[in-house]
Amino acid sequence: MCWLQVKESCNICSFDNGSSQMFDSHLFEQLNESQSAAIRAALCKTECCHGSFVEQIWGPPGTGKTTTVSVLFILLQMNRRTLTCAPTNVAIIQVASRVLNLVKEASNATTANGNFFYCIGDVLLFGNKQRLKLGTEIEEMYLENRVKRLAECFGSLTGWKHCIRSMVDFLEDCVSQYHVYLENELFKEKQLAAENKNETETTKLEVKSFIEYVRDRFNSCVLPLKRCILIFLTHIPKSFMKEHNYQMMVSLLDDLSFFKSLLFEKSLVSDELEQLFTSKLFLNDLDKLGDMSSISFVRAKSLSVLNALQISLERLAFPHYLNRVAITNFCYQNASLIFCTTSTSYKLHSIGMKPLEILVIDEAAQLQETESTIPLQLPGIKHAILIGDECQLPAMVSSNVSLNLLLLPFVYV
């Protein structure tokens, strides 16, 4: 018989452990009755404001204790800042991978034109990269990887500001840019002719037509812009990004993909395209542009979204791209669910961020009490949920110094 046990609830709180109103009922469909009851009881007690609880979820092998990590996903949905620890790198990777799969299933999105992404900015893993042995998927939530990607998007020459400006300049002023290109090519041709004036044959440069120039310029602008947008959608929480910015980015990805399909139609004529790019844009009245599937309409709409997005993003307090410490703290500050080994959690004591509320330790029976106090002493931790079985693999200490220390009486302050 499968079973899990959780200690009694607070006598003052009136939470009903059997109630599922505050939880996503879909998450409980794959759990048995005892697993579901254990999770509900533990989650309800994290809502208690009368005291702190150290909750235990345990059971013998085969009762499905590891499936109870769905509690982490529920805490994430409830926007409760949670630290999840495990005694080993292998254990924490397993827990993080299972939660990451739940996050992907719930948040994965595909735009109308096939751009796939999922939001994992709320979830963060940190620790020694070599010891963690990160896989390709789990690397997306790894701290150093996130800092690197965000630094690229905050940069002056590779960042979102440069990408948006480049696309706006292209959409607004492509015709005059093409004329500058023609003048430069003509100047190069004259220089070559002057250098080769004694030769019988003159070198004539191949000049791009307007449609060739536009297609090349669009590709050079759209690829870095799409990369920045997808990194933002993936690595920055929607709560920080704000819903309207999130929706503008998704809409922009669709508009740019559609614009590209129109731009690369075989029937498109260069002179016709130049005329379309020369015509004035009615950004405040898109209805005047007629057919919503036309190049003029999509161009105007994309330009309107780009301008609005630039203004809105500039209001957000992004860290400076050269300040890696600030970007790292930004990642810690905006993550709701943080993963690390129990011993590595000591690093959080020196990070200035909004306090964590809840501590969850998986395979807790493998820890010595002294090791458990590292995350338990973090400022703000009010509730702890310990998942494990004391009858399974116990804590292993291989250091003689540590063994001698464990023989000393431990004083709880």
Taking the alpha carbons at both ends of the chain, their separation in whole angstroms is 40
Distances (CA, A) of 127 to 48, 297, 336, 341, 368: 31, 49, 17, 7, 20
- For residue 1, pLDDT beyond 50: no
Give the whole-angstrom CA distance, residue 71 versus residue 37: 11
- For residue 344, pLDDT beyond 80: yes
CA contacts within 13 A on the Cβ side of 175: 12
pLDDT tens digits, 368-401: 888 888 999 998 898 888 887 766 655 555 555 5
**In this predicted structure, which of 227-241, 281-295, 343-357 has the lowest mean pLDDT?**
281-295
Phi, psi of 354 (to 5 degrees): -60, 130
Strands 53-58 and 383-388 turn out to be parallel
Say if CB 94 and CB 85 are below 8 A apart: no
182 membership: H or E segment, kind and range: helix 160-195
pLDDT of res. 109: 66
Which residue has better confidence, 182 or 393?
Answer: 182
DSSP letters, 372-399, are HHHHHTSTT--EEEEEE-TTSS------
Exposure letters 243-268 (e unless 16+ CB within 10 A, then b): eebbebbbbbbbbbbbbeebbeeeee
55 membership: H or E segment, kind and range: strand 53-58
pTM of the complete model beyond 0.85: no
Coil, strand, or helix at residue 285? Answer: coil
Say if CB 103 and CB 118 are below 8 A apart: yes
Of 349, 324, 313, 343, whose CA–CA distance to 145 is shortest? 324
Of 297, 281, 353, whose CA–CA distance to 124 is shortest? 353
Which residue has better confidence, 68 or 409?
Answer: 68
The separation between CA 381 and the C-alpha centre of its own chain, rounded to angstroms, equals 24
**Mean pLDDT value across the chain:** 81
Give the whole-angstrom CA distance, residue 215 versus residue 311: 27
Q: What is the DSSP letter of 278?
A: H
- For residue 226, pLDDT beyond 50: yes
Strands 116-117 and 109-110 turn out to be antiparallel
* Over residues 22-51, mean pLDDT: 69
The sheet carrying 337-341 orders its strands as: 53-58, 383-388, 358-362, 82-86, 337-341, 123-125
* Pair of tokens at residue 371: 């090791």
350's CB contacts (< 8 A; 6+ apart) are none
Coil, strand, or helix at residue 72? Answer: helix
Answer positive or negative: Cα dihedral of 128, 132, 134, 138. Answer: negative
pLDDT of res. 61: 65
Say if CB 345 and CB 86 are below 8 A apart: no
- For residue 259, pLDDT beyond 70: yes
